[in-house]
Structure 1
Amino acid sequence: MHILMIECNPNGIAGIAGALELGHEVTLVSVDPDFYPAVSPLAEAAYAHPRCRVVKSEQAFSIDELIALARELHAEHPIDGVTTYSEYHTVHTAAVAQALGLPGMSVDGARNARHKHLTRLTLDGTGVRQPRFAHVSDVTKVEAAVREVGFPCVVKPSDGTASLHVLHLKDEDDLAAYLAELADVVDYGRGVVRIPDILIEEFVPGELISVESCVLGKGEIVNLGVTDRPLSGFPYFIEMGATYFDGHPLQEELFATTTRVLEELGIDFGFIHTEYLLGPDGPVLCEVNGRLVGGIVPTLMEISSGVDTYLQVIRQALGERPELPFPGRTTAGGHWFGAPIAGTVESIGFDALPEVPGFHSAQAYKKPGTDVARLSKSNFDWIGHIIFTGADRDEVNKRCEEGLDRIDLKMRVGVAR
């Protein structure tokens, strides 16, 4: 069958590779196709596959232009399913699927998840626990909105991802610095234009955790498992690890809230990733992502369940009922790592990691000779990850911590004068 993939993400290239291996045909539409071979070891082989077509389109982020392109591709070679692993393109995927009459999420549901201010406004007054918030669509009104919410607060673009430009503000100096930084941000790269909407939210202290779900259709929401997501220190919010497991003490409440949230937002299709902060009064909704969880988590889901979740996304887009990756007896988790200081990567060694029980795999994202920033602002500062297994999340996290200490990272950081 023929799958249209609207952009992707580095780890999602595994889904394209898997679909090709199963005999499907894949057309990848991207503003910058050269991006993927630079970040995924699977991309080069996928691009060279005879059943893979890569279409470069500088207008791929324009929904009208994208629909027109999809209709052309469909006329040339009928498309059987439309999907994406990219947070930036969930609304685009829903719109194309609707235009072609193929399975997909409702456009309104996709938009309510994609734009964080719509999530907040749609759920306001429904009884779902959310932080106090203010929404502005004019950067000149951010200052007044911050004062309305009060310090400390969290400021975030409504359409951001990977914790990019999400900041904890504690005082007026933080606010002034943030406004100066945001003034220069007009896009997120690769053709993704930033919308002007900004959220200012009450700061909720507590652990970040997510619920992974699959919506099989209206009224059929299946909550699969929970992922813990330890964060770096303030003022930025960088995810530093993840463990996929079953049996969190608040799991029943988290699952019930997630079902209600997805129903209220009109999210009626697909794998969904919903984040919460475990505040003093209970779980507080952080955000909803209308796509499969990113990063290493799909790999953790496969290790624990035996189910390739990337392929299940494709199966569902093709109108099939996906196999669901419930956590199994083995718990899987991983930690990301970055550079302690800006410099140039000379080598990243993992030779000592197999000595730690439960070692599964490790991957470096940066090649020798690559300049890297200090791990400080967003998930884009990661330079690699490690994955371990264990009997439960405590054992997995201890093994990951030991593994981090055994990574041999060599960098060139400048010449003394």
Structure 2
Amino acid sequence: MHILMIECNPNGIAGIANALELGHDVTLVSVDPDFYLSVSPLTEAAYAHPNCQVVKSEQAFSLDELTDLARRLHEAKPIHGVTTYSEYHTVHTAAVAEALGLPGMSVDGARNARHKHLTRTTLAGTGIRQPRFAVATDPAEVEAAVREVGFPCVAKPSDGTASLHVLHLKDEADLREYLAELAQVADYGRGVVRIPEIVIEEFVTGELISVESCVLAGGEVVNLGLTDRSLSGFPYFIEMGLTYFSGHPLQEELFAATTAVLNGLGVDFGFIHTEWLLGPDGPVLCEVNGRLAGGIVPTLMEITSGVDPYLEVIRQALGERPELAFPRETTASGHWFGSPVAGTVEAIGFDALTDLPGFHSALGYKKPGTAVNRLSRSNFDWIGHIIFTGGDRDEAAKRCQDGLDRIDLRLSVEVAR
């Protein structure tokens, strides 16, 4: 079978590698294929595989150009499935699947999930609990939107991801700084152009938790499990730790609300990641991602369930019924880490972790000689992660916390004189 992968993400290269191992042909379309060589140790071997074709296209983010390219690829070698692991390309994937008559999410559903302002406006008045919000369609309208919602509030680009340019605003000074920063952001890199809409939302306090789901062909929503999340870097929102598990006291309410959200948005196919804030009055919808959870969540799902979600995404795109990653006895927890200061990586070592109870794996993302920023603004500041298992959520998470102290991170830092 021939799979068209429209961009990817660093961890998603594992899905491409798995598909190749199973004998599938994979064509990856990317604005910058070399990017994946720098972020995943699996990329070089995947690119060298005889069944892998890498197509570099400067127009991969243009729906019309991408659809034309997909039709040409399909004529040369019939495509049987279209998918992505990239948040930026979920609408593109849906559009190409529709154009080729292949399984996929409705384009409207993909767009409603992808663009946060459409999520908010589509669900307004449906009974889904959301924060008070206002949408600015132009940077000049942001100040008025903040006035409407009031301080404190959260500002976020409608099409952002990885907490990039998401900021807690407490006063006028924060607002001025945010507007100045946003004025410099025209795109997210790798050909991804930012849309103008900015969402201003009421600041809701409470635990952040996500529901991992799969919408089967025909629109049946199956909720799989929960991923808790710890945040750092306030007033920015950087995800630092997480555990994939089952059994939260609000699980049934969260599952029912997630089903209502996906149905309301028209999200009718694929693995979906829906985030909730557990506010004082109950769960409040944070956002919906119309694709498999990012980061190391799929790895935690596989450890906990025995099912590889990356591979199931591909199987579903090929028209097969995916195997579903329900949590079982073992609980997996992960924690990212970054640098306390800007500098250049000399070494990242994990030898002191390997004998700790529950240690599963660890990975440093930066090679020696790589310059890194201080962990401060977004998930892009991560420089590695560790994963531990335990008998339950608390044990697995505690083992991760203990393991952080054993990481050997060495940096060279310029000292001001």
Q: Does structure 1 conserve the Cα–Cα contact (< 8 Å) formed by 2:31 and 2:57?
A: yes
The residue that corresponds to 2:257 in the other structure is 257
The residue that corresponds to 2:337 in the other structure is 337
- Structure-2 separation of matches of 1:110 and 1:233: 30
The residue that corresponds to 2:14 in the other structure is 14
- Structure-2 separation of matches of 1:337 and 1:348: 11
Give the 5 Å matches for 1:37-56: 37-56=37-56
The residue that corresponds to 1:3 in the other structure is 3
Is 1:98 aligned with 2:98? yes
Is 1:239 aligned with 2:239? yes
Question: Which amino acid in 1 is paired with 2:53?
Answer: R
- Structure-1 separation of matches of 2:249 and 2:366: 38
Shift of 1:136: 1.1
**Could you give the per-residue CA deviations for residues 145-168 of structure 1, whole angstroms, max 9, x where no partner exists?**
101100000000000000000000
The residue that corresponds to 2:224 in the other structure is 224
3-state DSSP class of the match of 1:352?
A: helix
The residue that corresponds to 2:350 in the other structure is 350
3-state DSSP class of the match of 2:55?
A: strand
- Structure-1 separation of matches of 2:109 and 2:278: 25
Shift of 1:356: 1.5
Listed as ranges, the gaps of 5+ residues in structure 2 are none
The residue that corresponds to 2:381 in the other structure is 381
The residue that corresponds to 1:137 in the other structure is 137
**Could you give the per-residue CA deviations for residues 307-363 of structure 1, whole angstroms, max 9, x where no partner exists?**
011000000000000000000100001000000011111100100001220000000
Superposed CA RMSD = 0.6
**Could you give the per-residue CA deviations for residues 349-402 of structure 1, whole angstroms, max 9, x where no partner exists?**
100001220000000000011000000000000000000000111001110011
Shift of 1:14: 0.1
- Structure-1 separation of matches of 2:144 and 2:221: 39
Question: Which amino acid in 2 is paired with 1:309?
Answer: P
The residue that corresponds to 2:126 in the other structure is 126
- Structure-2 separation of matches of 1:247 and 1:163: 27
Give the 5 Å matches for 1:15-94: 15-94=15-94
Mean CA deviation greater in 301-310 or 407-416: 407-416
- Structure-2 separation of matches of 1:409 and 1:100: 48
Question: Which amino acid in 2 is paired with 1:371?
Answer: A
The residue that corresponds to 1:397 in the other structure is 397
The residue that corresponds to 2:211 in the other structure is 211
Give the 5 Å matches for 1:153-302: 153-302=153-302
Q: Aligned in 2, Cα 1:416/1:148: closer, same or farther, shift over 3 Å?
A: closer
3-state DSSP class of the match of 2:377?
A: coil
Question: Which amino acid in 1 is paired with 2:112?
Answer: N
Q: Does structure 1 conserve the Cα–Cα contact (< 8 Å) formed by 2:219 and 2:269?
A: no
The residue that corresponds to 1:359 in the other structure is 359
3-state DSSP class of the match of 1:273?
A: strand
3-state DSSP class of the match of 1:230?
A: strand
- Structure-2 separation of matches of 1:218 and 1:123: 21
3-state DSSP class of the match of 1:355?
A: coil
Shift of 1:415: 3.8
3-state DSSP class of the match of 1:396?
A: helix
Between the aligned residues of both structures, percent identity stands at: 82
- Structure-2 separation of matches of 1:145 and 1:84: 33
Shift of 1:65: 0.2
- Structure-1 separation of matches of 2:58 and 2:326: 39
Is 1:115 aligned with 2:87? no
3-state DSSP class of the match of 2:341?
A: coil
Question: Which amino acid in 2 is paired with 1:15?
Answer: G
**Could you give the per-residue CA deviations for residues 100-154 of structure 1, whole angstroms, max 9, x where no partner exists?**
0000000000000000000000000000000000001110010111011000000
3-state DSSP class of the match of 1:96?
A: helix
Q: Aligned in 2, Cα 1:416/1:124: closer, same or farther, shift over 3 Å?
A: closer
Q: Does structure 1 conserve the Cα–Cα contact (< 8 Å) formed by 2:315 and 2:321?
A: yes
3-state DSSP class of the match of 1:231?
A: strand
- Structure-1 separation of matches of 2:29 and 2:354: 39
Shift of 1:416: 5.1
Give structure 1 regions of 4+ aligned residues with deviation exceeding 2 angstroms: none
Question: Which amino acid in 1 is paired with 2:121?
Answer: L
- Structure-1 separation of matches of 2:269 and 2:348: 40
Number of equivalent positions: 417
3-state DSSP class of the match of 2:293?
A: coil
- Structure-1 separation of matches of 2:234 and 2:382: 17
3-state DSSP class of the match of 2:110?
A: helix
Question: Which amino acid in 1 is paired with 2:265?
Answer: L
Listed as ranges, the gaps of 5+ residues in structure 1 are none
Question: Which amino acid in 2 is paired with 1:11?
Answer: N
- Structure-2 separation of matches of 1:195 and 1:96: 20
- Structure-2 separation of matches of 1:103 and 1:355: 45
- Structure-1 separation of matches of 2:281 and 2:238: 24
3-state DSSP class of the match of 1:103?
A: coil
3-state DSSP class of the match of 1:229?
A: strand
3-state DSSP class of the match of 1:240?
A: strand
3-state DSSP class of the match of 2:151?
A: coil
Q: Aligned in 2, Cα 1:408/1:152: closer, same or farther, shift over 3 Å?
A: same
